[in-house]
Structures are given as structure tokens and as C-alpha cells.
């Protein structure tokens, strides 16, 4: 498979944005999501903002509560992290290896 022809987004979208869209579409509050996935509300908010990563455990909880597959959530997290790394590498190449201010 030729990977050079794959789409590579120019921005990294945190998985929490997808979770936020799903719960908004279903009329679920952050508090209800936190209770449904049995996660402290502050951690749930972090999940939505991207400061808390989707682990296997969280993916399983999301699958059980939102009925969207475990692997979907893990793939979102993996793709997000890969895109962040690629964009960081590109930025470093443009800046000649110096960290941008």
C-alpha cells in the first residue's frame, strides 16, 4: 500500500470534539455523560477538551454508554496523536529544528 497518497490533515482534531458532537446531538449533558461512563465530571470535561486521553478503559465505557464501538474511540485517539506528532515534526523542519515561540 502506498502511504504517500493518503490524506494527511493540516489540523489535529481532538477526539473530545467528536464526543461533544455526539452528546449534543443526543441531548446528553456533560454531567449525564460523566455518570454514564462512571468518570468524575472534571475528568469527563478533560476528555472533551483533549487534556484527558482516551484509554482502553475509557473507550469501553464510551462504547457501553454511547453504543459506538471501542475501536472507533481508540482510532480517533491514535489518529489525533499521530497528526499532532506529524504537524510538530513539520513545524520543526520549517523552523530548522528550533522550537517556535
pLDDT tens track for 56-76: 999 999 999 999 999 999 999
Residue 92 has pLDDT above 90, yes or no: no
Domain with 43, as residue range(s), is 13-94
3 belongs to a structural domain: no
pTM for this prediction = 0.79
Averaged pLDDT score across all residues of the chain: 88
1 belongs to a structural domain: no
Q: In whole angstroms, how far apart are CA 39 and each of 4, 33, 58, 101? A: 39, 8, 9, 36
Does residue 39 contact residue 58 with C-beta atoms inside 8 Å?
A: yes
101 belongs to a structural domain: no
26 belongs to a structural domain: yes
99 belongs to a structural domain: no
Looking at the structure of the chain, the number of domains it has is 1
Report the percentage of the chain scoring pLDDT > 70: 81
Q: Where are the beta strands (DSSP E) in the chain?
A: none
CATH code of the domain in which 85 resides: 1.10.260.40
Residue 6 has pLDDT above 80, yes or no: no
The angle at the Cα of 64, spanning 58 to 68, to the nearest 5 degrees, equals 85
At residue 55, what are phi and psi to the nearest 5 degrees?
A: -95, 175
* pLDDT band at 10; cut points 50, 70, 90: confident
**CA 74 distance to own-chain centroid:** 8
Q: Which three cell numbers stand for residue 52?
A: 484527558
Does residue 101 contact residue 27 with C-beta atoms inside 8 Å?
A: no
* pLDDT band at 86; cut points 50, 70, 90: confident
50 belongs to a structural domain: yes
Amino acid at each position: 500500500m502506498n502511504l504517500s497518497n493518503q490524506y494527511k490533515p493540516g489540523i489535529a482534531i481532538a477526539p473530545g470534539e467528536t464526543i461533544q458532537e455526539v452528546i449534543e446531538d443526543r441531548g446528553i449533558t456533560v454531567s449525564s455523560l460523566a455518570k454514564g461512563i462512571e468518570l468524575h465530571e472534571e475528568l469527563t470535561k478533560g476528555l472533551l477538551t483533549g487534556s484527558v486521553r482516551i484509554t482502553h478503559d475509557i473507550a469501553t465505557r464510551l462504547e457501553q454508554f454511547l453504543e459506538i464501538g471501542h475501536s472507533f474511540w481508540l482510532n480517533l485517539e491514535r489518529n489525533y496523536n499521530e497528526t499532532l506528532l506529524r504537524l510538530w515534526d513539520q513545524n520543526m523542519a520549517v523552523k530548522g529544528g528550533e522550537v517556535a515561540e
